[in-house]
Amino acid sequence: MVLMAFRYLFAAALVFGLNLGLGTQAQAAPRLQLHTVELVGYVGKALKIAVEIPCGGEFYGLVAQSDDRGTLRLAAAVNQDSIVCTSMPDPREMVVDYLHTTGFKSIAPMRLDSGPNRVNVARVNDLRMTDGKNGRRLRLAYESKCGSEMGALIRRTGEGRLEIGYVEKVATASAYGIACDGKERVRFVTALDPKEKYTVASLREKPASLRKAFYVRLAPIDPASLAKAATGNNGVMVRYQRACNEAPVGVVVSRVESKNDRNRVKIGVLVARYYNMPCVKGHEAAQWETYGDHEIKIPRGTDVVALASTTGMDALTLLEPRKLKRLEKNGDKGVALSYVRPCGAEIGAVYARDGRRKLAVAALARRSSTCKARPAEVSLFQPFVAQHVKASDLHPMRLSGSPAH
């Protein structure tokens, strides 16, 4: 999408170890250390820098940090291999043409400690351009890992394409394995010129296996299978169609909130499509299977219809709830999910079983090409989980990887 001169792509992470056959292996994040940069000069408006890359290291991107005095400070993020070698550092010069060099009073190297400056790459939950009293700026929301903030990580991944993350210096507690209950923080990236034409996306973690790369979509539903969903007896079990390289993620329930359709519910099945896994010859045809959950109860007399199927890898995003609780609303007992609303329309909730057979829940949204609303924490209430299911048996659907853009 085009937001002024920026094009926006959001890469939400959502591979989870439920029934996707992925196990619990986390995705590989880069092992980054910060290194000092030397400011060599300018080539037009582009900044020329020099970095000494240590043996076994690879330049990954720039870390930029600005202050209220109009100074932009820079450091090099180096992906440090675990291989030990004794060669001398390799000095390299490079031209950085994506920085907003005219937007600061001065540009200087970032002050770094003398020892190893290992940093964590935080997950970016939301990335968008916003208008405010300080003009048009790139806004990101990230999950803090309880370390010292070092700045925005800017990585060039192609001609005119940048991926953005946020890095924190490894906290002492994290270094010794002490749990960190990190909270979401919002920061603005001022190092980039919003007038330039860049494709800007959140930083993708590298999948552990290309065979596990996937995107999610809503599968076609057999309407005849929905007839029993509103009996209130056996839960929601529907027939859906999947390809040989697709696996079910969960059952989707969408409640229609309009005055004329309060008794209408839409049901779907979310599947993960592993697009790098070819079908075995002779088994390319799609199959009809049954999927659902006996603890999802649709009130008797409800008009149940199928959610329309989707195609393509950019349509849907799965959102991990920040809070999940049972409550009563307008006489209905149900489940409330609190999550950060992205640029897009809410579809409903996704229900699945985790490895312990507990009920895992997430929100499902459709990404939009136009977005003016600021990110905000919103609540989604659904009265469809059986009343005897305890709050302790409900869990947010844990996200641990990166699907396709």
CB 335 within 8 A of CB 318: no
Q: What is the pLDDT of residue 232?
A: 59
Q: Which residues pair with 106 in a beta bridge?
A: 71
Q: What is the pLDDT of residue 176?
A: 42
Distance CA 132, CA 136 (A): 6
Q: What is the pLDDT of residue 118?
A: 86
**Residue-by-residue pLDDT tens, the chain, 405 positions:** 333 344 443 333 333 443 333 333 334 456 788 999 999 999 988 899 999 888 778 899 999 999 888 999 999 999 876 555 656 778 889 999 899 988 899 999 999 887 778 888 887 878 888 776 767 788 888 888 778 899 999 998 877 789 999 999 876 544 444 455 567 788 999 998 877 777 888 887 554 455 567 889 999 999 999 887 766 567 899 999 999 889 899 999 998 665 555 578 999 999 988 887 877 777 778 899 999 998 998 888 888 999 999 987 767 888 888 888 888 888 788 898 888 776 667 899 999 987 778 899 999 988 765 566 666 678 889 999 988 888 888 888 865 444 554
Q: What is the pLDDT of residue 172?
A: 57
CB 293 within 8 A of CB 359: yes
Phi, psi of 103 (to 5 degrees): -95, 5
DSSP letter for each residue of 261-279: GTTEEEEEEEEEE-TTSPP
Q: Which of 295, 284, 328, 398 is nearest to 20 (CA)?
A: 398
59 CB burial (10 A radius; 0-12, 13-18, 19+) = middle
Q: What is the pLDDT of residue 14?
A: 36
What does the domain layout of the chain look like in residue ranges? 29-202, 210-396
Distance CA 208, CA 130 (A): 34
3-state secondary structure of 174: helix
Q: What is the pLDDT of residue 270?
A: 94
- The CA dihedral of 97, 134, 345, 123, to the nearest 10 degrees, is 60
Q: What is the pLDDT of residue 288?
A: 94
Q: What Rg do the C-alpha atoms of the chain give, in angstroms?
A: 24
3-state secondary structure of 368: coil
> Which token pair is 21?
């056959």
Per DSSP bridges, beta strands 106-109 and 71-80 are parallel
Type and span of the H or E element at 344: strand 344-353
> How far does Cα 181 stand from its chain's mean position?
18
Q: What is the pLDDT of residue 398?
A: 67
Q: Which of 6, 27, 7 is nearest to 16 (CA)?
A: 27
For the chain, the farthest-separated pair of C-alpha atoms sits apart, in whole angstroms, at 75
